[in-house]
Amino acid sequence: MPSYKAPVEDYRFLLFDLLKISERDDLAGFTDLTEDLVMAVLEGGAKICEEVLQPLNQIGDEQGCHIENGVVRTPDGFKEAYKEFCDGGWNALGASEELGGAGLPSVITAAMNEMGNSANQAFAMYGGLTTAAYSALAGTGEQWMRDLVVPKMMHGEWCGTMCLTEPHCGTDLKLMKTRAVGQEDGTYRLSGTKIFISGGDHDMVDNIIHMVIAKIPDENGKLADDLSTVNFFMVPKVNINPEDGTMTDRNGVTVGSVEKKMGIKGNSTCVLNFDDAVAYRLGGAPEKPAADGKKKSSASGMAGMFGMMNAARMGVGIQGVAVGEVSYQNAVAYSKDRLAGRALDGAKNPDGPADPIIVYPDVRRMLLQASSFAEGARALATWVSLMFSEVSAADEKTRQVAGDMTQLMTPIIKAFFTDMGFETANAAMQCFGGHGYIREHGMEQFVRDARINQLYEGANGVQALDLVGRKLGMHGGRPPLTFFGLVEDFIKESADDAAMTPYTAPLSASLKDLQDATMWLLENGLKDRNNAGAASVEYLRLFGIVAVGFMWAQMAKIAATKLADGDSNPNFYKAKLVRATFWMERVMPDTVSLKARACAGAENLMELDAEMF
């Protein structure tokens, strides 16, 4: 049976040694973030993840969710665990104190997100989506929703979902058929079918608040074939009295089926049918057509939807880190216990029948691949999470850099982390040999669960297109140049430190590959958009490798200083240096081939006619 230990000490290192959050009095919500307070929160979060959520992970996978007498049933223990989770306030860590939450910044809530998903991804998704839903409501909903609906979601009485995808429509929202027809009382009647709705229906709470996108038809009942009438709606499973927040009658929302799927079986992924359901448009009154007659989308409501989607993409990226971490931990435990053969340079366990397989270089390669990814990606996600607070800093330059980095890094974190999370789970499974393929060890579940992360919240190919098609060119190309400048400044600052050369030299070389690929895209992507599309996946991976390498170089510098100063925990910092070296020696060289592939152009990919495939 798998186990999990939350990486609390690594978060201490990231938050207080790397990011120095206790010194950030310039940011709202950081004044009282003492090390003692933050560590108490993380240790409490670790406890519930390790002791309550993790033991339910395999149970959820084996039992799954099913419909019984019209009600979706969750696996044994999930309902009780969700109540305990919310009673402890873990679902409201990031909510403002005004709303009744703890008001902690995203740099802390991201850590809790990772721990929950390592312990039990299927379970963590219920709370994660509810948080995203109530945050969107708090930002775009009417006052009665903020007063009466949001608190119930925060405190675990009600849950939330995000309903975007339709059977014929995923990423291309213009193809949506779900419609919302305005009523005289200001509400709408919403009809259509949504699929792949995580937590779409279940028995853990009394009500579920669906956040739904739909089109408003014109006066002839026709749906536009563009985004101009796409709007964002709140649709409760059970109708709500806006006067006092009490539940009334069942709304027109029914479960078509519970999806049969590869992984995350403890989460009730549903097909939802909306049949004349009462819906509330978010973001104020619909915009009127512009004077020039051009159609416009409803900016405020759609801003809430896109904010929810971007937060979800960051959260899914962190799920990639989470599965990488828990897979690694279990692979290490097995590699230390499993006896097979003798070390290549002589027996290490001469009194036993064989040596543990951790003596073999290839097993160590897989373990270092897993841990260098998990720790490096954790650092990058934590840094970007801090940037989400810096977006509201008083200093204009800080706000600008933070805005550029959060925009630029979101698709990279979503796609690169989830690709690597899946690869890491596979490498960890390989350490088990044939036992990894057997259910009892839990490794095959990690691989199955990890696979969805590359698909939902925008498949990774779409994230790559977003990076090269939108994010690189924002503000005249400023975001990538800002990142390049941050890396170059760090390399210059470390130029006189010979001990840093093993880290800064590979970082400098790979940064040059990234810059060259960026210039190629700027020159060739505009000439032929297929060139940008053909380069996008390799380019995103190249960018991700360099970004994590930037984190590893900074962590190596801190670790070397700690060791030189005689820190009381030398093994922790020695391990940091070893993993940093692994990333520089074994991963960073990939940027050479990635640049070559990214710059190969689209001609070969587009040469065959469709019928020739």
Amino acid type, 224? A
Tokens of 299: 């900016």
By the 8 A CB rule, do 410 and 310 touch?
A: yes
Model's pTM, two decimal places?
0.95
Strand pairing of 207-215 and 158-163? parallel
Which of helix, strand or coil describes residue 234?
A: strand
Q: Cα separations (Å) of 330 from 19, 324, 337?
A: 29, 10, 11
Query: Which residues lie below 8 Å from residue 387, measured CB to CB, with a gap of 6+?
Result: 401, 402, 405, 406, 409
pLDDT category at 286 given cuts 50, 70, 90 is low
| Separation of alpha carbons 414 and 291, rounded Å | 39
457 is catalytic: yes
Tokens of 486: 């941050």
Active site residue: 325, 375, 390, 457, which one?
457
**Neighbouring C-alpha atoms within 13 Å toward the C-beta of 36:** 1
| Separation of alpha carbons 268 and 266, rounded Å | 6
pLDDT, tens only, 463-510: 999 999 999 999 999 999 999 999 999 999 999 999 999 999 999 999
Question: Facing residues of 208 across strands?
Answer: 159
Tokens of 379: 């650092």
| Separation of alpha carbons 350 and 73, rounded Å | 53
- Residue 180: pLDDT over 90: yes
- Residue 285: pLDDT over 70: no
Phi-psi region of 601 (alpha: psi -120 to 50; beta: other; left: phi over 0): left
pLDDT (0 to 100) of residue 70:
83
**Neighbouring C-alpha atoms within 13 Å toward the C-beta of 481:** 9
DSSP structure string for 163-197: E--BTTBSS-GGG---EEEE-TTS-EEEEEEEEEE
Q: End-to-end CA distance of the chain, in Å?
A: 44
Rg (C-alpha) for the chain, rounded Å, is: 25
- Residue 292: pLDDT over 80: no
- Residue 314: pLDDT over 80: yes
Which of helix, strand or coil describes residue 270?
A: strand
pLDDT, tens only, 499-557: 999 999 999 999 999 999 999 999 999 889 999 999 999 999 999 999 999 999 999 99
Cα dihedral 421/427/432/435 (nearest 10): 70
- How many helices (H) and strands (E) the chain has is answered by 18, 11
By the 8 A CB rule, do 215 and 179 touch?
A: yes
pLDDT, tens only, 244-266: 999 999 999 999 999 999 999 99
Between CA 562 and CA 419, with CA 46 as vertex, the angle to 5 degrees is 80
Tokens 């990488």 sit on residue: 324
